[in-house]
Structure formats: C-alpha cells, structure tokens
Structure 1
Amino acid sequence: MARILALLGLFLSMHIHAEIRILTFASPPLVNFHKSDDIHTNHHFTGFSVDLIDKVFNDTNSKYSIQSKPIKRALYETKAIQNTCTFPIDRTQDREAQFKWIGPVAINRYALYSAPNTPISLTTLIDAKTYTHAVYSGTAIANYLRERQFHMYETKSLLQGLRMLLSNRVDLWVADTNSAKLLAEQAHIAQLKPELIFFTSIGFMACNNETPNADLYKLDMKLKEMYQSGEAQRILHLDE
C-alpha cells in the first residue's frame, strides 16, 4: 500500500507541475522569431508579449516550452491537446467556450495602410469597402472584415501583406499599428502612415479546456497582480 501511495503521489506531482506547451506566431513587436543555435529548436523568441509570458511563468515557477505555428494550426492543436496554449489570440464570442483564457497579454490597434505616395482618403471603415485588402489569415480582424464582405486577400504573414501593398497587388494593408511600424522600419519605409485606425483588440493566451484549472489560476492571478502594479503595462510598452 505504501508503494502504491508513493507512486500515486509521484503521478499527482508530475500532473501538477506538467509543462505547458505554448504555440505562437510572428507578430512583431509582440512576438519575434530569431534563428536559434539550439539543434532542438529552430527559433528563439523575443517580443513584448513573449517577455510578459516569460515573466508570469518564471515568477510562478511554472514550466513551459514555446514553438512557432501558423495561427490556424496553433488554435487547432490548442483545442485538441491538453496542457497546450497559444497567444496572442483575440477572445471572440465564437471562441469563448472553446478555450480557457489568461490575459490580456497584448493590446492592438488595427489600421488601414495605403502604399507610400499613394494616399487613400478614408473617414470611416465603410469608405474602405470599395478597395482590396491584404489581411493576416486566421486573425479575428480577418474574420471581422470577412463578415462585412470586404474584398480581401488573406496572407500567411504580416510581412506578405506589406509586400503585396508595396507591389500594388492590393490597395490597403490591414495591420496593427505596432507591427506595421516595426516592419516599415525594417523595410526602410519612412512614409507608411495609417489612413484609418478602426479597431482595438485585446489579445489573450487561449488554453486547452482540459488543462488543470489550478495550473492556469496561478498564472492568471500573477498576471492580474502585474497589471495592478503597472509592471505588465511597462513590459507591453503601453505607457509609451
């Protein structure tokens, strides 16, 4: 009996301290990918949201690993596999019951950008409906525009959308203002300014519904504590 209880205790200990597998995707400056020298992984991750997640896990002595996946694949695996989470994800009504949520881990303002030296005058979002748009596939903003029957090309990355804009394959590029600013700087584009900022979204970490509540509760409580102290806002650069 003592041996059985010891084995049960070991099992419960392993369960309580199970590693959380986190999936994410390129969304600079929130999430950036870099080539890694580690033969066991193909990326090293940095970014505002990555720093926030890392701080939350480290301060709660929680183990995690992080991998890159396209948004749609990340959501599919998170929904199907226990102890799996993905971020930064928009917490939409249709997703609400499919996951457990921790956040916010990101705050984005989405804008419409025209090509440099090709201004398009926009006052409201309705004004943009006659134009073609490049938008990152799998994002809530893509769903938002699709539901409103905008003419869109869904891209595999934000950078692909910028390239389509610069090559005049679309009239407008849909991107959050932080990502657009960073990608424009990297491409040495000084004239890229938003024609219209039209949507603000709050990004969360979505977790598989079978992930133990106790594991997620301590993460969520730590994050709330960081917002109360202002530390989370500083890490996300929301005070700039």
Structure 2
Amino acid sequence: MLSTLQRSLLVGLLFLSCSVRAGLPEDYQVVLLTENFPPFNMAVDEKNFARDDAIDGISADIVREVFKRAGIHYTLSLRFPWDRLYRLTQSKANYGLFSTTYTPEREPLFKWVGPLARSSWVLLAPPGSNLRLNSLEEAAGYKIGAYKNDAVSQYLESRKLAPANLLRDQENVAKLMKGEIDLWATTDPVGGFLAKQQGVSGLTTVLRFHEAELFLALNKDTPDEVVERLQKALEELRAEGFVDEVSQRYL
C-alpha cells in the first residue's frame, strides 16, 4: 500500500509529466528532410527521392529512435538538392534537416540536436595521384569541386577559396576523373561511398583539414520543449550504447 506521502509524490509526478507535454498540440509533428549522404543518410534504392522506411543510414536510424523515445511525431523524406532543403528548413516552422554539419556561422540559423555523428573534411584527387598538400592555402592554385551550400564549401569560401559548386555532389566524381577539376572537397567517409556507387575506388586523400560534427538542425521557431525532449532522448540512447551500435553497423 502506498503511504499518503508516496501517493502525493506520485500525483505530483504525473501532474508534472502532463504539464511538461501540455505545451504541444496532439497533432504536432516535425517535417524531417534529408538527402543522400552515405553512410549517414541515404535512399535504400540510391535514388534521389524516398520516404520513411526507404531511408537508412547512421543518422537516419538514430533520428528515428530519438523521435520515438521523445514521443514526438514526424514525417521523413529524402530529396535533393541540399541547397533547397537547407533554405526550406530555415523558412518553414517545425521543419528539421539532417545530417547538418554544425559550424559557428550556422549556429544562430537553427536550433540544434546532436551530435548524431562525426566526420572529417578532405580534399580528394584521382587514384594514383602523388599530390600532397600541407594546408588549404596550398590548394589555392587548384580547381576544386564542391557541393553547393554544403558546410565544406562554405568553409572553403570563408577561407577565400572559390570552389566550383554543384547541386549534385555525385557529379564531382565524374568531373574529377575527367580532369575537369583537380580536387574534390568533400566529407569522409561520404566521398568514398559516393565514388564507389559510380564504380570509382582508391581516390587519393590529398589533405584532411577539418573535423566536424553532424546534427539535426531544426527551424528556429521550433518549440524549446521539442528541442529539449529530443536532446534528452539522444543522450539517453548514447548512454545506453545505441548510437555506437548503429555507427558500427554501417562502418
């Protein structure tokens, strides 16, 4: 039998639980957007449009479980190009985008949940290349291909480099192999995955120049309650080992 004090505490906890969630309407949901960015998020059939279970990858699996744990409804679709998804998430309330690289410049543009995963930024050359660089400054004399509005491209531009940006990062593989660009600025291990999908392997890493963290970026008008519940759920899953298990499954 519960004592009077125990019953009072239980009622209080139930009231607090209900009040914490009372700020969200019953039909509240987040519209999640992502792109082909293997192995973090990708269409199972490798096409440029997919929904729900037709999307997998490290970040996709983690985000699904985070929303489930937090008890927040969502829809999930994979589209392209990244530039459009990025701008859409900035302008639409209750929209979210992953895997989005966190940078100080982007910090005030979104609300953030993460990190979901970590990656590094690299300059790649064709297989067999003997080129090696010690800094980005040494890359100034080369033609660099990149992905429009991607954090890697934004970083290069902030360093006074002028990458040739494309709306489809996959196209940089063909341009690199044809000699139309000297170097491809991309994310490791994403670049290798995209290249293998097009039958290219053994690309040469000329320079590894930055370590990055990948997040879920939410529209700035997303309620703080949503952000807090999602972040708490992610931290719980990480403490339980789920995040590491998912990463090992793909890598």
| TMscore range, shorter length | 0.7 to 0.9
Q: In the alignment, which residue of structure 2 is the partner of 1:64? A: 74
Structure 1 216/195 Cα, relative in aligned 2: closer, same or farther at 3 Å? same
Alignment of 1:72-87 (within 5 A): 72-87=83-98
Q: In the alignment, which residue of structure 1 is the partner of 2:41? A: 31
Contact 2:58 2:250 in 1 (8 A): no
Contact 2:39 2:250 in 1 (8 A): no
SS of equivalent to 2:97: strand
Q: In the alignment, which residue of structure 1 is the partner of 2:213? A: 202
Contact 2:82 2:149 in 1 (8 A): yes
From 178, 202, 206, the equivalent of 1:191 is: 202
Q: Bigger radius of gyration, 1 or 2? A: 2
1:133 aligns with 2:144: yes
Aligned residues between the structures:
226
SS of equivalent to 2:128: coil
SS of equivalent to 2:170: helix
Structure 1 233/165 Cα, relative in aligned 2: closer, same or farther at 3 Å? same
From 126, 145, 154, the equivalent of 1:143 is: 154
Given the two structures, how large is their TM-score scaled by the length of structure 2? 0.81
From 183, 188, 191, the equivalent of 1:172 is: 183
Mark the runs of 5 or more structure 2 residues left unpaired by the alignment: 1-21
Contact 1:33 1:43 in 2 (8 A): no
| % identity of equivalent residues | 24
Give distance in 2, aligned partners of 1:119 and 1:107.
28
SS of equivalent to 1:236: helix
Contact 1:52 1:236 in 2 (8 A): no
Structure 1 42/163 Cα, relative in aligned 2: closer, same or farther at 3 Å? farther
Given the two structures, how large is their TM-score scaled by the length of structure 1? 0.84
From 64, 67, 71, the equivalent of 1:54 is: 64
Root-mean-square deviation (Å):
2.5
- CA deviation map 1:113-150 (0-9, x unaligned): 11123331222222222111111111111111112222
From 5, 22, 34, the equivalent of 2:32 is: 22
